[in-house]
Amino acid sequence: MRYFLWLSYDGTRYNGWQAQPEQLTVQGEIERALKVYYRKEITIYGCGRTDTGVHASKYCCHLDSDVAMDFNDLYHLNAILHADTVLIEIQAVKDDAHARFDAYSRSYQYFIRYRKSPFHINHSFPVYYFDKIDQDLLQAAADTITAYRDFTTFCKVESDVKSNNCDISTAMWEFYDNHAVFSITANRFLRGMVRMIVGMNLNVAIGKIQLDDVIDCLENQQRMKIDWSVPACGLFLCDVKYPKSVFLK
């Protein structure tokens, strides 16, 4: 039977999601726990690849098991897993359901703090000049990207994807007393795309680049002269959505 596993993880000590030889990864950590508990190799397939240091508050992967799994299994697996990775829920799905290919929406949040905090050092990016930022211009920069589909401008050079097209449905900033949150939702994201978009937003808001220059690059699928990818520590994958048809009733 095939199952979706929902989990959360702090990506601070991991070299991203995807299993790699001689590297500590989230996928490798979960597969290690599955092997200890079930005494056999079980491969899991994630909804996407998060980079080194990126976190997830709601991530989904799938696996196949020849024994029925339930919440009690999650309890025992969590006892094996490191404290920075927690399995939250297990759902039986159809045999052809796929955590990556069946997802129709993914959402990320990026957290910025206005000052350094010892309690958030690995989970947000301190921006000490935030009081000088034009918040309206910050949102205007975010609004701009929703009008485009080709995001070559915000794709890492070494990316091997076949298409740079993404359908962004939401891109917005929210401001609080001591921090700001950027939220973005799309059908898919390119490698490093969200962190580069946040960097662009900040650069526009402080006047390092002009919004017209961003638009020009998007129109012509070109990289910007000032290309800034903000640190991974502030980025969280926070939601993944699937059609109801993949789940067993």
Q: Which residues carry out catalysis?
A: 51
Residue of 51, 97, 9, 52 lying closest to 189 (CA atoms): 51
| Residues pairing with 109 in the sheet | 183, 236
Question: What number of other Cβ atoms are within 10 A of residue 162's Cβ?
Answer: 5
d(CA 172, CA 167): 15
Query: What's the count of helices (H) and strands (E) in the chain, helices before strands?
Result: 5, 9
Judged by DSSP in three states, 186 sits in: strand
- Pair type for strands 125-126 and 105-113: parallel
Assess contact for 83 and 32: CB atoms under 8 A. no
**E strands, the chain, where?**
2-9, 45-46, 55-64, 85-93, 105-113, 125-126, 168-175, 179-186, 235-241
Judged by DSSP in three states, 144 sits in: helix
Residue of 153, 128, 154 lying closest to 221 (CA atoms): 153
> Measuring CA to CA, how many Å separate 27 from each of 91, 128, 147, 167, 195?
18, 35, 35, 27, 22
Would you state the torsion angle of the CA atoms of residues 166, 220, 158, 52, taken in this order, to the nearest 10 degrees? Answer: -50
Q: Which residue has the tokens 């990289």?
A: 223
